[in-house]
């Protein structure tokens, strides 16, 4: 694993760790349907109201906030987005109550650093990492591309709930939500008091501009289609779009050089989603020779394992260099995993990836 504490790198260690199961108490939380946002056009793909889950802070955490954005991939064509309208990825009509655990857990024993903070989970129903904003609604599909408006409306509501007086605040997310944490990080900081300690955490959101097994940039084309369909350009960091093509700004490696707010990256070098979709997308494996390997590394041949190792090297080379980015910390493990902060077994349990619990403690330093 690579473990870089803030403000500068403290250690680089490579280990191979597995995830261990751990039971932990999870707390039921309030489910907020933000119906007032509908009038502003801040809606899910199907036009339904956006949703977030909220657990208020108490005691020493009463003025501290952690806002975690749900992941769930993207839809890059109208057909894909229509499918999402029929489930919770595109409609709040299908969303159900949930419990918090991991970095959002409310049990002091299992989440000692953030258990009493104001904890928020923003549900993901737009398919664009909260960047879309197209005014026109197609009468045939009734698709609403309004992810950026959803993010704005929910953050505004949280500011009115007391986040405007935050002393410490963390914007985090998993997968597509982890990417959103990068894309919205500087904006998030600008909305909070100048005196607040504001940091961001991207869990499994460091998608690399990598090549697939055929040598093509399949994921780059996919992201270009997402940006075009959702009208995302105007909601991507201008410091990035002014330098490179808009779709490249969906790769954090192109955003971080001009990012101002401190960021902590939590990712697996053998990220399971990236292996399935960046290294071996279905279009690049028409003979399905990777069908077993890309879902379970125990099913990989020796040559496929070498390819995975090369992907790891490509991933590591795409990370920012610590000496060049003093505001960026990271914990990169060698697990075959995707998203590690939301589940108790990988966040803070016996056997979870750690170097003397440096994952949890390094994230805590973000708010100090």
Burial of 83 (0-12, 13-18, 19+ CB in 10 A): middle
pLDDT value of residue 346 = 66
Backbone angles phi, psi at 137, to 5 degrees: -115, 125
Between residues 349 and 361, the one the model is more confident about: 349
Q: Which of 338, 341, 345, 354 is catalytic?
A: 338
Q: Which of 271, 285, 333, 345 is catalytic?
A: 271
pLDDT value of residue 355 = 62
Tens of pLDDT, residue by residue over 182-222, are 999 999 999 999 999 999 999 999 999 999 999 999 999 99
Tens of pLDDT, residue by residue over 338-348, are 999 887 766 66
Classified as helix, coil or strand, 34 is coil
Q: Strands (DSSP E) along the chain, which ranges?
A: 2-4, 11-12, 27-28, 30-33, 51-55, 64-69, 99-100, 118-122, 168-174, 197-203, 263-268, 328-333
pLDDT value of residue 15 = 29
DSSP 178-211: HHHHHHTHHHHHHTS-TTSEEEEEEES-------
Domains and CATH numbers, the chain: 31-348 (3.40.50)
Q: Report yes or no: 169 and 196 within 8 Å, Cβ to Cβ.
A: yes
Residue 35 has pLDDT above 60, yes or no: yes
Residue 315 has pLDDT above 90, yes or no: yes
In angstroms, rounded to a whole number, what is the distance separating the alpha carbons of residues 353 and 109? 18
Alpha carbon distances (Å) from 165 to 52, 54, 64, 129, 196:
20, 17, 9, 26, 8
Q: Which whole number is the average pLDDT over 5-12?
A: 31
Q: Which whole number is the average pLDDT over 43-48?
A: 98
In angstroms, rounded to a whole number, what is the distance separating the alpha carbons of residues 213 and 300? 14
Active site residue 254: no
Active site residue 175: yes
In angstroms, rounded to a whole number, what is the distance separating the alpha carbons of residues 343 and 201? 15
Residue 277 has pLDDT above 50, yes or no: yes
Express as a percent the part of the chain with pLDDT over 70: 85
Residue 358 has pLDDT above 90, yes or no: no
Active site residue 334: no
Encoded tokens for 81: 């987005």
Quick one: pLDDT band at residue 70, thresholds 50, 70, 90? Answer: very high
pLDDT value of residue 323 = 72
Q: Which of 55, 101, 128, 175 is catalytic?
A: 175
In angstroms, rounded to a whole number, what is the distance separating the alpha carbons of residues 158 and 192? 11
Quick one: pLDDT band at residue 350, thresholds 50, 70, 90? Answer: low
């Amino acid at each position: 694993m690579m473990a870089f504490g803030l403000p500068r790198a403290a250690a680089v260690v490579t280990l191979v760790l597995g995830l261990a199961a751990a039971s932990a108490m999870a707390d039921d939380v309030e489910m907020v349907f933000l119906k007032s946002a509908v009038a502003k056009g801040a809606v899910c793909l199907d036009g339904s109201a956006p949703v977030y889950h909220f657990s208020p802070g108490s005691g020493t955490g009463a003025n501290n906030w952690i806002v975690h954005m749900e992941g769930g991939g993207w839809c890059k064509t109208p057909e894909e987005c229509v499918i999402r309208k029929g489930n919770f990825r595109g409609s709040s009509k299908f969303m159900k109550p949930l419990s918090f655990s991991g970095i959002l857990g409310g049990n002091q024993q299992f989440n000692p650093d953030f258990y009493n903070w104001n904890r928020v989970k923003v549900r993901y129903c737009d398919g664009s990492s909260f960047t879309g904003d197209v005014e026109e609604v197609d009468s045939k599909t009734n698709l609403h591309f309004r992810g950026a408006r959803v993010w704005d409306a929910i953050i505004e509501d949280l500011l009115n709930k007391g986040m405007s007086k935050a002393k410490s605040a963390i914007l985090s997310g998993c997968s597509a939500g982890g990417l959103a944490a990068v894309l919205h990080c500087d904006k998030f900081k600008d909305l909070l008091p100048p005196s607040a300690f504001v940091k961001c955490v991207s869990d499994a959101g460091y998608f690399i501009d990598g090549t697939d097994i055929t040598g093509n940039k399949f994921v780059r084309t996919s992201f270009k289609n997402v940006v075009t369909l959702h009208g995302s350009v105007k909601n991507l960091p201008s410091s990035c779009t002014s330098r490179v093509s808009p779709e490249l700004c969906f790769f954090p490696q192109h955003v971080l050089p001009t990012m101002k707010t401190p960021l902590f990256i939590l990712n697996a070098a053998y990220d399971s989603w990236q292996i399935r979709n960046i290294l071996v997308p279905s279009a690049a494996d028409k003979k399905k020779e990777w069908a077993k390997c890309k879902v379970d590394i125990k099913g990989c041949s020796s040559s496929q394992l070498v390819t995975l190792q090369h992907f790891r090297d490509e991933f590591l080379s795409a990370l920012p260099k610590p000496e060049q980015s003093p505001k960026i910390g990271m914990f990169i493990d060698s697990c075959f995993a995707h998203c590690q902060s939301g589940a108790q077994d990988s966040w803070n349990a016996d056997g979870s990836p750690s170097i003397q619990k440096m994952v949890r403690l390094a994230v805590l330093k973000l708010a100090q």
